[in-house]
Amino acid sequence: MSQNVAVIGLGSMGYGMALSALREGNRVWGQDISPKRKAEFVVEGGETTPLPDSLDVVMVVVLNSAQTEEVLFGEDGIAAKLRKGAVVLGCATVAPEFAKDMEARCNAMGILYLDAPISGGAGKAALGQLSVMASGSQDAFDAARPILASVSETVFELGDHAGPGSAMKAVNQLLAGVHIAAMAEALTFGMTQGVQPNQFVDVISKCAGSSWMLENRAPHIVDGDYSPRSQVAIWPKDLGIVLDIAKTTGFDAPITQSALAQFKAAADMGLSGEDDAAVAKTYARQAGLTLPGE
Amino acid sequence: MSQNVAVIGLGSMGYGMALSALREGNRVWGQDISPKRKAEFVVEGGETTPLPDSLDVVMVVVLNSAQTEEVLFGEDGIAAKLRKGAVVLGCATVAPEFAKDMEARCNAMGILYLDAPISGGAGKAALGQLSVMASGSQDAFDAARPILASVSETVFELGDHAGPGSAMKAVNQLLAGVHIAAMAEALTFGMTQGVQPNQFVDVISKCAGSSWMLENRAPHIVDGDYSPRSQVAIWPKDLGIVLDIAKTTGFDAPITQSALAQFKAAADMGLSGEDDAAVAKTYARQAGLTLPGE
């Protein structure tokens, strides 16, 4: 079923989702602050002219809640232009309360809202194989199902209202961020004891100390390749969101705080635009170690 | 090839290794401070009478370096009674420098030493499917090969002298301990946002936030089952060893310190003898949450 789809934010995730939506035969409009990204998207068969009145689906794939709110309800916001029954997918990592607020404000305008944060990285986005941690009304799920089928491999259906999707995403980001920083801590600690990074990957990825992030990111350090698949900059933002949510209930998250401090240190070293495995450089500098490729 | 094997320490790991050695047709002597454990081992076909002069292999499966040294070189130490060419496998988690010292002292007495810390838990020990992070001389490996084949599925050969095996084990323990505590932090954080523990396991184990320890330990929390497969008490010990090693080179390991604090808090709550997943109880108490089964 061909639909009229808008993708707001053609970053590495949004661009891949837009391509996946195109590939399935939808008409897809892409919006981004970068003219270059939009021009590339047109070459791929996408559209960027003013959004039509006839949109069925809007996927908001921006950085955070402030951008999500601006896109939907700011000056020139999209929500006011959508037809009744259109569905908005909120894909940014945001607080559950914010997702609930977006749902309420959309519903008040006759628009459906699916709390739909995404996981899997740029590669999976381009292949239409993301995981979506989704929650929302039955109507929102029904309206979103075709586009979810285009962009994702797995849809976790986590509840009948906005909030639980974003809560699960925050839980996942807590662990993902901690595991990247812990991997960096362990890899560099090993180096102080003569364990080479390639040996670290070979052995630990087969042992009880392994994690999804270790298997995915530690090879970047072995290769000395910090071209960003996922940037350091993601983690001060996402772990900050986790801690903001935790603060609302007085929950202490000391390990998250400790990992956040490492990513902030990496950002302070000017590494925000590098692959997030570059958090290892903060440890290497402290310990006087030379990482592969340096 | 049947050998004469001694297993010093019939805890959950040592007992399983002793059974695996028996199953492969070796004569196996077990020693433990618990008469009950020794009696059980005799029922299984093991021996506990004074150790014979004709031992080929001694596996030292005790708690730490102090116990390892006492067993080998203390009053009534085993090293003095071994024939030339017998091999000692040091299986406790110890500092690399300590392992080197044990190797030197054994070699000076004409005994071989394999730095051979183990990973995999009691279940794998009983099945003869442990992972061994081994380093030592060619002669030590050659002498240990038959018993390694009996007790392990994977032997990582990490160097031609003692030290690298223990270094890799410390790296693994750093990550394993951090991942257990981070899992507990994330699971309980999720509960404050309405994510149920079973939902947490179902979703996160399939996402980028997963880890070996999450998949293995989080179900214990879902089941409310804290019967010890691996005890809380392991982690103040093993993360303490990691930090002691780190201190020798001035390496900062802030995430490890943060995880250690959680296990110490669990020990202070009287949970040392429970399964290490019980570290979640420290978070639950702080946040006023009720875990499954409580």
pLDDT for A294 = 87
Q: Which fold has domain B4-162?
A: Rossmann fold (3.40.50)
Cβ-contact B8, B60 below 8 angstroms: yes
Closest A-chain CA to B289: A251
Which residues on A lie below 8 Å from B190 (Cβ)? 167-168, 170-171
Active-site choice (B36, B81, B124, B169): B169
Question: CATH assignment of A166-287?
Answer: 1.10.1040.10
**CB atoms closer than 10 angstroms to residue A64:** 16
| CATH 3.40.50.720 location in chain A | 4-162
Question: Does A185 contact B255 at a Cβ distance shorter than 8 Å?
Answer: yes
Average pLDDT estimate for B194-221 = 97
Task: Mention every residue, 6+ apart, whose C-beta is less than 8 A from residue A215.
Answer: A205
On whether any CB of chain B is under 8 Å from the CB of A243, the answer is no
On whether any CB of chain B is under 8 Å from the CB of A57, the answer is no
Is the pLDDT confidence value at B141 over 80?
A: yes
Closest B-chain CA to A242: B189
Question: Residue B209: which pLDDT band, with cuts at 50, 70 and 90?
Answer: very high
Give per-residue pLDDT as tens, B266-288.
999 999 999 999 999 999 999 99
Strand A87-90 with A112-115, pairing:
parallel
| CATH 1.10.1040.10 location in chain B | 166-286
Among B152, B158, B203, most A C-beta atoms within 10 A, so best to mutate, is B203
How many residues appear in chain B? 294
| CATH 1.10.1040.10 location in chain A | 166-287
How far is the C-alpha of B120 from the C-alpha of A107, rounded, in Å?
A: 52
How far is the C-alpha of A67 from the C-alpha of B109, rounded, in Å?
A: 71
On whether any CB of chain B is under 8 Å from the CB of A287, the answer is yes
How far is the C-alpha of B42 from the C-alpha of B60, rounded, in Å?
A: 19
Q: Amino acid identity, residue A237?
A: K
Nearest to A189 among B186, B206, B253 (CB): B253
pLDDT for B270 = 98
Residue A63, CA distances (Å) to A3, A67, A222, A234 in order: 25, 7, 29, 9
How far is the C-alpha of A178 from the C-alpha of A165, rounded, in Å?
A: 20
Is the pLDDT confidence value at B96 over 80?
A: yes
Residue B241, CA distances (Å) to B64, B245, B247 in order: 9, 6, 10
Residue B268, CA distances (Å) to A253, B89, B262, B263, B272 in order: 19, 33, 10, 9, 8
Question: What pTM was computed for the model?
Answer: 0.94
Provide the token pair at A188: 């560099």
Is the pLDDT confidence value at B145 over 80?
A: yes
How far is the C-alpha of A146 from the C-alpha of A150, rounded, in Å?
A: 7
pLDDT for B22 = 97
Scanning B250-269 for CB atoms below 8 A from A yields 250-259, 261-262
CA distance A174 to chain B (A): 7
Provide the token pair at B292: 């499954």
On whether any CB of chain A is under 8 Å from the CB of B213, the answer is yes
pLDDT for B1 = 73
Provide the token pair at B52: 């014979």
Which residues on A lie below 8 Å from B205 (Cβ)? none
Provide the token pair at B121: 């838990």
Q: Amino acid identity, residue A199?
A: Q
How far is the C-alpha of B203 from the C-alpha of A176, rounded, in Å?
A: 13
Is the pLDDT confidence value at B81 over 90?
A: yes
Q: What is the DSSP string of chain A?
A: ---EEEEE--SHHHHHHHHHHHHTT-EEEEE-S-HHHHHHHHHTT-B-SSPPTT-SEEEE--SSHHHHHHHHHSTT-SGGGSPTT-EEEE-S---HHHHHHHHHHHHHTT-EEEE--EESHHHHHHHT-EEEEEB--HHHHHHHHHHHHHHEEEEEE--SSSSHHHHHHHHHHHHHHHHHHHHHHHHHHHHHTT--HHHHHHHHTTSTT-BHHHHHHHHHHHHT----SSBTTHHHHHHHHHHHHHHHTT---HHHHHHHHHHHHHHHTT-TTSBGGGGHHHHHHHHT---TT-
Nearest to A164 among B195, B202, B261 (CB): B195
Cβ-contact B257, B165 below 8 angstroms: no
Nearest to A192 among B172, B206, B249 (CB): B249
How far is the C-alpha of B107 from the C-alpha of B61, rounded, in Å?
A: 20
Closest A-chain CA to B167: A193
pLDDT for B67 = 97
pLDDT for B290 = 98
CB pairs under 8 A between A and B: 234
Question: Does A186 contact B175 at a Cβ distance shorter than 8 Å?
Answer: yes
Which residues of A are catalytically annotated?
169
Chain-centre distance for alpha carbon A114? 16
On whether any CB of chain A is under 8 Å from the CB of B98, the answer is no
B166-286 classified as CATH 3.40.50.11890: no
Which residues on B lie below 8 Å from A255 (Cβ)? 178, 181-182, 185, 255, 258-259, 262
pLDDT for A49 = 84
Among A156, A206, A212, most B C-beta atoms within 10 A, so best to mutate, is A212
The conformational region for residue A110 under phi > 0 = left, psi -120 to 50 = alpha, else beta, is left
Which residues on B lie below 8 Å from A216 (Cβ)? 208
How far is the C-alpha of B40 from the C-alpha of B252, rounded, in Å?
A: 44
Chain-centre distance for alpha carbon A87? 20
Q: What is the pLDDT along chain A (294 residues), one digit of tens a residue?
A: 799 999 999 998 999 999 999 999 999 999 999 999 999 999 999 999 899 999 999 999 999 999 999 999 999 999 999 999 999 999 999 999 999 999 999 999 999 999 999 998 888 999 999 999 999 999 999 999 999 999 999 999 999 999 999 999 999 999 999 999 999 999 999 999 999 999 999 999 999 999 999 999 999 999 999 999 889 999 999 999 999 999 999 999 999 999 999 999 999 999 999 999 999 999 999 999 999 998
